[in-house]
Amino acid sequence: MAGAPHVHPTTTPPPLPGARPLLDPAAEYGRWITERPLDRITLWGDLHPWLVTRHADARAVLSDPRFSSENIRPGFPGLQPTPPPRTPGQLFAMDPPDHTRLRRMLIPEFTFRRAEQLRPAIRQITGDLLDSLVKQGQPADLVEHFTLPLPLLVICELLGVPYADRDFIHHQASAFATVSAGPEAMRAGWAALFGYLQELLAAKSREPGDDLMSRLATERVATGEATPAEAAGLLVQLLIAGHETTASMLSLGVVALLRHPGQLAALRADEALVPGAVEELLRYLTVVHIGLRRIATEDVEIGGVTIRAGEGVVIALQAANRDPALFAGPDALDLTRDARQHLAFGHGLHHCLGQSLARAELQIALPMLFDRLPDLRLADPAPEELAFEGRAVHGVRELPVTW
């Protein structure tokens, strides 16, 4: 209740679920959203942050400046039991004014207009990958030949990163995203990409091209608006987030559509359904499934509960996106649904900078895939065993298909 005294729970609250089905959130979220929509959970044995599951409460927390993203604050409900070392340019772990200063540098590169300008290039990349997929023959791993290289190619082109280094990039990005590997492996993945991009940034400052990294080097670093380390940190995040999430959305989107043939048939019959269908897939799948993490800097009332200063909050996006108060029959995939209020890209100050680009990739790639391969089917009808384990972004390691 609002204004209740600050007490520690007398019984140990439950942990966050450690696993989830391939296409749905963990079953616990469906119960929590109706039975205990804002309650405590246990992290690392002795940390008891609040879990937010309702859509309205999630939006309230994510838009309230009294909740901080700085993961070095004592009591922050981080992905690991010990706070990570602070690295320059980590937007996801920053508050204003530094967050505002650095994010503002990237906004012109990720506008809706810029994403629309990139659509012809995305179509060309998609078509070339499909040509290569068909040529190499079946069965084929759709992750290896389509859903991973597509967003990685796009983000490499946008940033000015050599696609020839894709294996190194994806390996290090995967290490950083694999929470279960432990903090040292995660830090090593980030550090490897950080060093790699520092070198590229220095080279771009000497010989700039027509790409985002060159513009950062010549227009931001050279003018003193950002340090080289801050710019490299920004680029690491863009490189990781720019392909990991979209690749997983493409893979799981294919599985979801193949398992809902009526929905797929409707999508193929009506091109006008595509933008709304992508929003529904984003809501339904919610691949960023570890919860957004915040800590209160002062007492805040959310959903009738007072969250005290210094208490952590975990926002369960996958629960909020299945909230029956906003989405009727939330566990059903309905491509005709108006799902635009989903929180798959977050909300508020830290909403995903690349959401227009991700939408463009999904809106182009999925229809082109099913148009080119109308008889596409899973070679393994039960790919659940191919799902990532302990990853911050849900998805599959591989996806064998035939056509």
**The pLDDT value given to residue 8:** 55
pTM of the model as a whole: 0.93
Return the residue matching tokens 């940034």: 201
Sign of the alpha-carbon dihedral angle for 269, 273, 275, 276: negative
For domain 27-402, give the CATH superfamily.
Cytochrome P450 (1.10.630.10)
Q: How far apart are the first and last CA of the chain?
A: 56
pLDDT in tens, 200-226: 999 999 999 999 999 999 999 999 999
**Residue 301 C-alpha from the chain's centroid:** 27
pLDDT in tens, 106-165: 999 999 999 999 999 999 999 999 999 999 999 999 999 999 999 999 999 999 999 999
Position 9 pLDDT exceeds 90: no
Q: Which amino acid is at 57?
A: D
- Domain ranges across the chain: 27-402
In the chain, what percentage of residues exceed pLDDT 70? 97
Beta strands 50-52 and 67-68: pairing type?
A: unpaired
Calculate mean pLDDT across residues 359-380: 97
Quote the mean pLDDT of the chain: 92
Confidence of residue 87 (pLDDT cuts 50, 70, 90): confident
